[in-house]
Chain A
Amino acid sequence: MKKRSKNLITFLVVLVTLNACTPPTEKTRTEEPVSHPKGQASVVDDVSDPNILQVAASSEPHSTLVAAVQAAQIEHVLVNAGPLTVFAPVNSAFEKLPDGTVQNLLKPENKDALAQILTRHAAPGSYDIEALKREAKKGRKLYMATGDYLEVTMDGDNISVAGAKIVGTVAASNGIIHVIENVILPK
């Protein structure tokens, strides 16, 4: 954000200089706001089904996750065409982490580490519950966006990914969200 404003100021200075040597025009474009600063993440669309980011943002139990996504600046990943399967830890899952862990990760200097942890919760592809059951039955591991492979296990009707139990599933326009009870940390 800081970088953007700096660039804008440079741009304005250049423009003012330019304007000084050319006749003024009726309207200069610099006064108009850029309409789509964030690309796909800022598309106004109340017709399509909500995407993963929109679903998560509207879910109170995922406020910590959403804050983390924003701090890691990976919103654009969750609105991308994907498809993505996101294992979304609820707030209480983050609370189970050792004291200070979340606060520490949210610091700007830990942005990359936070992004790595969050990305580890996303699998390219759309795996609904039936697809995850097939993963477990066939012994296939889930390939995550970080390159890790996670094990899918089935105990009766309960499905777990890397030991984190799935407690709910929400379909999104660009993939699927499975709500989990634990944060999946690297071994």
Chain B
Amino acid sequence: MKNNNLHANALIIGMLALIMSCGQAGKNGSNGALSGSIAEKVYIAPGERDEQYAFLSGGYSGNLTVYGLPSGRLFKEIPVFSQFPTSGYGYSEETKPMLNTSFGFIPWDDLHHPDISQTNGELDGRWIFANGNNTPRIARVSLSTFETEEIIEVPNSAGNHSSSFITENTEYVVAGTRFSVPVPQKDIPIKEYKSNFKGALTFISVEPEHGHMDIKFQLLMPGFNYDLSHPGRGKSHGWFFFSTYNTEEANTLLEVNASQNDKDFIAAVNWKKIEEFVNNGGGTKMASNYAHNVYNESTHTATSTIKKEVLTVNPADVPGAIYFLPTPKSPHGCDVDPSGQYIVGAGKLSANITVHSFDKMLAAIEAKKFDGDAYGIPILNYDDVLAGSVQSGGLGPLHTEFDGRGNAYTTFFISSEVVKWKLETWEVIDRKPTYYSVGHLMIPGGNSRNPHGKYLVAMNKITKDRYLPTGPEMEHSAQIYDISGEKMELLYDFPTHGEPHYAAGCNADLLVNNSKKIYRLDENNHPYGIKSPAEARVERDGKEVHIYMSTIRSHFTPDNIEGVKVGDKVYFHITNHEQDFDVPHGFSMIGQGTSEILIMPGQTKTSLWEPKKVGVWPFYCTDFCSALHQEMQGYIRVSPAQSDIQLSWSLDE
């Protein structure tokens, strides 16, 4: 029956698309929609700058990419969960600890949902958070240095997907599990899933001054899949909303077995109530094991600490804090409008979009109108909480963003389109094809009280013939729409890197003036840093050789070193003595089992080399730093392990 509906809908969509394309052709003919005026909207002349920043998730690249809007120009890739030879992140001795976990060093993750920090419900531009989906982690990236400053592992979680969304004063960054698992982990038959597996929703507090993260509590929910989430804002601040699927608690062939229930739930969590409960001593401390990695900008060094305990909360212990809102057809996206009144659940197997009312939810709770419970958590009546349903005419709704003018925009994966609809009347105003199976969309500021409703970026999962072909694998396509008018207008499309799952964006002026240019040498407290080239030296400590090296255009100090032996562990501690914006130096050594490192002005970084062969081996600067960059090189003489050649070093002697 379901299948027949799908087919019927697909037919209707097909016919609609035909009719619409005819209409558009006519429009194109009359005023030239593809004329110069559209090109001008995305054209940023040489020397001019974009209006907005967009931070796109890199998905399986593990990293974030930074683009300009409206030009779609790529500015930077920020390494977060993946080793990155371009900068040496995860390769340098200082940054290896950033990728430490309770499973050991994990060089990769699947980065999904970036979210910019907020104050009073508006973007404040201090940090951007992102979740690692695979080995559950949350990262915090500085929006002044564009470097990852902190990563915290999330225990008792698996497939960290309904993450990393923040509350409106960045009190918490929230991480919900997609896969429920035994909590704590234990060796049991998979078939004992039901009631044995739990879904952890983790509230990570964010210290206001430096942004340091700490797990405040974990809510151990029934063993559903927690898919996406968003914070309440304005009137609903203090609540958090999570979409769920697999309320069937299936543990195999989920594509069938998790689609049995007509409705799953959106879980409404009153986190302020739970916060109060734990502040008064509530909750149960559980033995655990998770890494907390913090990068210190003063020492230019990360440290990893393994934490041993986490505070868990059983929902039954905090009555009145959690309710289930029935939502049709395995809801995926769970989005809250700028006023905080409407909670949008996009049933990914549905044609329609369900919108719940926060006020009606509170009234139903007040009146205690429940339709039973699930594991003790009250279920509200669908009709009691429903604000409206958008008869979209599309198929496969996924995600919704808002423009701040009372309109919402929802992506439809199967019908490949963005649909614009009106809050409160629930009528469809416009629809534009994206052609290539759109996943997420992003309006800068869209997850806040104050969206900047000028551009919309749709991120497609497919590319196929959109660009020049590059073999079987193509970068995913993104499309930018002008949404300032009644109708959306497709302006431009551009390739992304990895797979963008969601993005965050903000006005450029929020970040431009805070962007760091150099690290000050007088503030460099790296234990192996040197304040000037005069302090350059080489020290031996058993098999370890520590080279305190300096770089400044266009030479290393020292650049001739002798007395290193096969079997030594040679640490190059390189301080870049430049104090000039955008003048890094690089370093690489022949035969080194790691990547190059790129050292920013005023920074110290360490690269490890374990020489295996006797000889005289060169190193060089990997970044074209200056007119004499090709001269920026040096030699190290490596002698046999038993040799008695003393350490010596020099420059131009």
Contact = CB atoms under 8 A, between A and B. Distances in A.
Interface of A: 18, 22-23, 25-26, 28-29, 32, 34-37, 39, 43, 45, 47-49, 51, 80-83, 124-126, 131, 134, 173-175
A15 to B, nearest CB: 9
A22 B31 CA distance: 8
B55 to A, nearest CB: 22
Contact of B47 (A34, A45, A48, A51): A34
A35 B46 CA distance: 9
Contacts of B37: 22-23, 25
B31 to A, nearest CB: 6
A173 B49 contact: no
Residue picked from B43, B552, B580, B625, most chain A C-beta under 10 Å: B580
Nearest to A173: B580
A23 B473 CA distance: 40
Contacts, number: 73
B41 interface: yes
A28 B40 contact: yes
A26 B38 CA distance: 12
Interface of B: 31-32, 35-37, 40-41, 43, 45, 47-49, 484, 517-518, 552-554, 578-581, 583, 601, 625-628, 652
B628 A124 contact: yes
17 contacts: A23-B31, A25-B37, A29-B48, A36-B47, A39-B47, A45-B517, A47-B517, A48-B579, A48-B581, A48-B601, A80-B627, A81-B583, A124-B627, A125-B554, A173-B578, A173-B580, A175-B553
B41 A126 contact: no
A126 B580 contact: no
Contacts of A26: 484
Given A23-B37, A47-B517, A126 B48 contact: no
Contacts of B581: 43, 45, 47-48
B261 to A, nearest CB: 48
B32 A83 contact: no
A18 B36 contact: yes
Given A48-B579, A81-B583, A126-B553, A29 B45 contact: yes
A49 B519 CA distance: 11
B631 to A, nearest CB: 8
A46 B309 CA distance: 46
B630 to A, nearest CB: 12
Contact of B518 (A43, A48, A131): A48
Contacts of A43: 581
Contacts of A51: 580
A154 B232 CA distance: 75
A29 B553 contact: no
A174 to B, nearest CB: 6
Of A39, A48, A125, the most chain B CB neighbours within 10 A belong to A48
Contacts of B552: 83, 126
Contacts of B517: 45, 47-48
Contacts of A175: 553
A81 B47 contact: no
A86 B553 CA distance: 15
